[in-house]
Structure 1
Amino acid sequence: MICALGAAVCFGTASVLQAMAARAAEPGTGSGVDAALLLRALRQWRYLAGLGLDGVGFVLQIIALRHIPIYAVGAALAASLAVTAVVAARLLRVRLNRREWAAVAVVSAGLLMLGLASGEEGSGTGPPALEWGLLAVAVLVLLVGAAAGGLPDRSRPLVLGFAAGTGFGVVEVAVRLIDGVSWSALTDPALYALLLGGGAAFLLLTSALQRGSVTAATAGMVLGETIGPAAVGVVWLGDRTREGLAWLAVLGFVVAVAGSLALARFGEPPADPADPADPAGPVADPVP
């Protein structure tokens, strides 16, 4: 659980550092999506630091997934939005209203309940078809993402975000199914599901954030990366809770995910919170 929380801290902090680097990068001269923005951002130490934190967070995520149930790891990763909110409030001077501070507290309470109730990682490997099913889901994520490009502006970010979250969920389950690092892993469908699901998720989430509401896209991502993988872990992989504490685990999971959804606007911190032209603005609501 410590590794899962450490991954959430790494991912949440990396988001803010990368947003600060993008803000500091030289503006482009063209219109629309600036493909050279990444190259300019890579000149910023904050962006490189963010990438480093992403790498550390991924390693911690893998360690956590190999030792505790998927539902606990998924909820902890969703809680990275709470980390982003707190760090953004400090570094980007983004003001959180009372409801958002309450949501941070709710996420923390949910994770505490999960930590108390979670058992050890399940020992099940699932049916033989599960690995091929994961690969099929990863392919489906790509197809849904391609089809979602033609949806109306209002629904497109939510669908793309949910598809991206499902891709991240494929990664979570695949990590549990891959039996160590060996040459035999090259013939394991779970490995290719992990690579395809992770790559598709990154592309779709980037597209969702560029082309619509950050809040809708992030909310869809949180739902996609938590509920499905948690169900797979319980039904097929043997994830369980401590004796008599199943109710506390369910409550903690729901509370942590609900609190994360309340912080969905921090899925991508504003590029320049001091800019009055920024439609997101530095403040979500007036502070009561």
Structure 2
Amino acid sequence: MICALASAVCFGTASVFQAAATLASTPGSGSGLDAALLLRALRQWRYILGLGLDGLGFVLQIIALRSIPIYAVGAALAASLAVTAVVAARVLGVRLSRTEWGAVGVVCAGLGMLGLSSGAEGDTAGSTALRWSMLGIAVAVLLVGAVAGSLPGRSRALILGLGAGFGFGVVEVAVRLIDSADLVNPALYALLIGGGAGFLLLTSALQRGSVTTATAGMVIGETIGPALVGVVWLGDRTRGGLEWPAIAGFAVAVAGALALARFGEATAAPDEGRDSAARAVGATP
């Protein structure tokens, strides 16, 4: 659980630095899969720093996924939105309201309940059909990203973020379906395609809308579906008699993260001349 929380800190902090870098880059083609945008962002130190944090977070995520249920890891990663809000307040000068700080506390409370009630990872091996399904979802994420760039405003950021979440959710499940470097295992290719597609979609979402909106879509995509897969197909369970605290903790943590996305949006036009990166995380003037 410590590794899962540390992973959330890495991902949440990386989002702020990557958002600042992508916003400073020349606008892309409008496609959700804009490799040129990624290449331009890679020229900036802030994006490189965020990329390094993403890499560290991914390693910690894999360690957590091999030790505790997917639903616990997913809920911990949902806390990355709370981390994004807090880091944005420090790095970008965004002022958080009392409601936002309350939502951060709610996320922490939910994670505490989940940490006390979650058991060990499930011992059920995934079926061949599940492995191929993960590969199919990863390819579908690529197709969605290719057309999502034409959507308007907030819808575009939300769909791109949601697609990124599904891509990262595929990674969460695929990690549990890979026992060795088997080149004929569809889950291996699902992990590579899902992770790559998710990263590209999130990069585009960060430039084309609010960081909190994009991250909220990502939270939904990478928590609910993978949690259900873990419970139904991979045997994830809670500690004896603590099913309801686990369910409540998961729901509270995810709801708190989504509340941050909603209340993080600007309620009025930002001050003239305000830094564009601060506007991107929904700064309230």
The TM-score with structure 1 as length reference comes to 0.84
Q: Is the 8 A contact 1:94 1:273 kept in 2?
A: no
What residue number does 1:32 align with? 27
Residue 232 of structure 1, aligned match among 229, 232, 235: 229
CA 1:116–1:225: 2 relative to 1, 3 Å = same
* Corresponding position of 2:33: none
Equivalent position amino acid for 1:280 in 2? R
Deviation at 1:150? 4.0
- Number of residue pairs matched by the alignment: 272
Asked whether 1:216 is paired with 2:249, we answer: no
* 1:49 Cα deviation after fit: 3.5
Q: Corresponding residue for 1:97?
A: 97
Q: What is the CA distance between 1:206 and its match in structure 2?
A: 2.1
The answer for the alignment partner of 1:170 in structure 2 is 170
Gapped regions of structure 2 (runs ≥ 5): 29-35, 265-269
Measured after TM superposition, the shift of residue 212 of structure 1 is 3.5
Aligned match of 1:139: 139
Given that residues 92 and 273 in structure 1 are in contact (C-alpha distance below 8 angstroms), is that contact kept between their aligned partners in structure 2? no
Task: Confirm or deny that 1:262 pairs with 2:253.
Answer: no
Q: Distance in 2 between matches of 1:151 and 1:284?
A: 23
Amino acid at match of 2:60: L
**Secondary structure of 1:280 counterpart:** helix
Gaps of 5+ in 1: none
- Displacement of 1:213: 4.2
Partners of 1:115 and 1:122 lie apart in 2 by 16
Q: Which amino acid aligns with 2:27?
A: G
User: 1:106 corresponds to which letter in structure 2?
Assistant: V
Shift of 1:66: 0.4
CA distance in 2, matches of 1:274, 1:110: 38
The equivalent residue for 2:204 is 207
- Separation of aligned partners in 1, 2:105 and 2:272: 26
Q: Which amino acid aligns with 1:205?
A: L
Partners of 2:6 and 2:141 in 1: how far apart? 28
Could you tell me which residue of structure 2 aligns to residue 253 of structure 1?
250
After superposition, where does 1:151-190 map in structure 2 within 5 Å? 151-180=151-180, 182=181, 185-190=182-187
Please give the alpha-carbon distance, in whole angstroms, between the structure 1 residues aligned to 2:200 and 2:43.
19
Q: Deviations over 1:226-282 (max 9, x none)?
A: 000000000000000011111011111111111111223799xxxx99942648278
Distance of 2:49 and 2:281 partners within structure 1: 24
Q: Which amino acid aligns with 2:245?
A: L
Question: How far, CA to CA, are the matches of 2:194 and 2:281 in structure 1?
Answer: 33
Q: CA 1:205–1:22 in structure 2 vs 1: closer, same or farther (change >3 Å)?
A: closer
Whether contact under 8 Å (1:88, 1:94) holds in the other structure is yes
User: Once the 2 structures are TM-superposed, how far is the Cα of residue 11 of structure 1 from its aligned partner?
Assistant: 1.6
Report if aligned partners of 2:122, 2:230 keep a CA contact under 8 Å in 1. yes
Between the aligned partners of 1:143 and 1:47, the Cα distance in structure 2 is 25
Rounded Cα–Cα distance in structure 2 between residues aligned with 1:104 and 1:237: 31
Q: Tell me how large the CA RMSD over aligned residues is.
A: 2.9
SS in 2 for 1:40: coil
Output the amino acid matched with 2:204.
Answer: S
Verify the 8 A CA contact 1:122 1:240 in the aligned structure 2: yes
- Alignment check: 8 A CA contact 2:72 2:114 kept: yes
- TM-score of the superposed pair, with normalisation by structure 2: 0.85
- Deviations, residues 76-101 of structure 1 (Å, cap 9, x unaligned): 11101212222222232221110110
% same residue:
70
| 8 Å Cα contact 1:168-1:201 kept in structure 2 | yes
**Aligned counterparts of 1:209 and 1:94: Cα–Cα separation in 2:** 16
Q: Answer with 1 or 2: which has the greater Rg.
A: 1
C-alpha deviation, 1:152, in angstroms: 4.2
Cα distance change of structure 1 residues 74 and 175 upon mapping to structure 2, 3 Å threshold: same
Letter aligned with residue 198 of structure 1: G
Q: Where does residue 112 of structure 1 map in the other structure? A: 112
In structure 2, relative to structure 1, the CA distance for the partners of 1:123 and 1:147 (3 Å cut) is same
Structure 2 counterpart of 1:280: 279
- 1:13 aligns with 13
Could you say if the C-alpha distance between residues 48 and 78 of structure 1 is closer, same or farther in structure 2, counting changes exceeding 3 Å?
Answer: same
